Structure 1
Amino acid sequence: MYPQSHHEPHDQAPDFTTSEGLRALLTELNEHNAWASSPVAAELMVYATQKYTPIAKAWHRDPADAAYEAFLAMRTPTTLAADDPWAVITRAVALGIAAEVHADRNMTSQDKARRPSKRPAEEPMRAGHYEEFFYDVHPHAHSLVQHGGEDHSVDRVIRATCVFLVLTDWPARPVEQAVDYIAHRVTGLSSRSAAVEVVSKELHIAHRLGYTAETWAALVRLVVGTTTGKRKSGPYGLFARVLLGDDVTDLLRDEALVSASRRSAQPGTEGDGGAS
């Protein structure tokens, strides 16, 4: 039995905990580009997150990293053609997490990290130039990292944010590019309010990715948030929520957040873009 999400049960959906059930579901999701519209896709990702949490913890990574690797594997033809799709995904998650850890340590690409002969003999010195912005989103974020000992890398924040957005109706390719751009753009800005104001006006990027000005502004607000202060006092962006400990499963269980994201993703409509 797979975990229940906030969606109603789907009697006609294949049992994706089995190899053939997973193959049938992935065929439907991939052939019809239904990742964003199928409620079963969200249930599948919740299940995959829990299934691969032990692999993530073995490498001292967040479960969202494992979920992202599983998500990528589920979209490949190789997985569909395999005798056991779950075995292929499990292998992909294990290799992907290991490569990500080595890539992070050595500041190199995952492709090179997969091959020991391409790894540097010593780990390079880090400048930590991403920390200032992400720790600034919450007054206690830095102490949480120091005492909790968890890896709050930028990659983890980007990955969890992308998976959540794709599962709430945002087309995968443009939103992945948008989130990556926003994350790297805001690191040079002084605050979240400045980030929202500046990045929301960069319409040349929005137009290149196929977004209207309204949709782009809503996406920026959804991802970055709009206010700073105690958690109860205002909306937090997806970046901040993931940094503070939420994973994709937590975000999907927030019905108000899911609803806001879906509204923002619809062309011609104005979502409120707030993550509470």
Structure 2
Amino acid sequence: MQYAAKRYAALAHRHGLDPWEAAAAAYDAMRAPSALRADDPWAIVTRAVQVTCIAEERAQGLLCSVHQARRRKISSYHDAERFSDRDHPLPEYHRAFRTDPVEPQNDVSPLPEVEPAIEDAIMLFTLLGWPSDRARSCVEYICSRLADASSRPSAFESLRRDYSARAHLDIPQPAWMSMLRALLGNCDPLHAHTAAGRGILLRLLIGEPLRALLRDDDLASDIVINAPGVRV
């Protein structure tokens, strides 16, 4: 045991352990049948001592048993730290609270095809019986909210519940919902690849002409029936 403690003293110190702890690990390894049958028994013992020293060091850092520290799932965690061990608060040094700074991009301009698409959408509603001033104010407001939203479905849900905007624009509920369905499309995933799921804005942006939208009977009838001031 004295020979084992001397032999593995450097390995033990490397992991913050006493040489006699390494000697105890060597003794356990010598008792294993694999060490007796091995061509190089000291290689088996040395590897067993190394694994035990690593597990002992991880167990001390993780505040758990050596048996648990041998598991890969547990050993992947970082050592336990007290909040008082550092001079600065946790959010100032932990990477989970870090965010990359976003540089302002003041020179970003809208895509050149967006403005024509908005104008064509306004023209479509005007041709189908909407007052031109209401059509413009509503379409521009919806497009501005769409630009700030994270996705088209989230914009649809937010605008659907935007009662103050609807009151400010003086648009009844059926007309408001008809415009949202027409501009943003049906957000149901089942309709994602259909004309009803794309919506007017997307169809215009991908190159579909205004006359093709006017020939869409389902779209046109929904806009005409729910136009402000129309009584069915």
TM-score when normalising by structure 1 = 0.41
Larger radius of gyration: 2
Which of the pair has the greater relative contact order for Cα pairs under 8 Å at 6+ separation? 1
Tell me which protein shows more helix as a share of its residues: 2
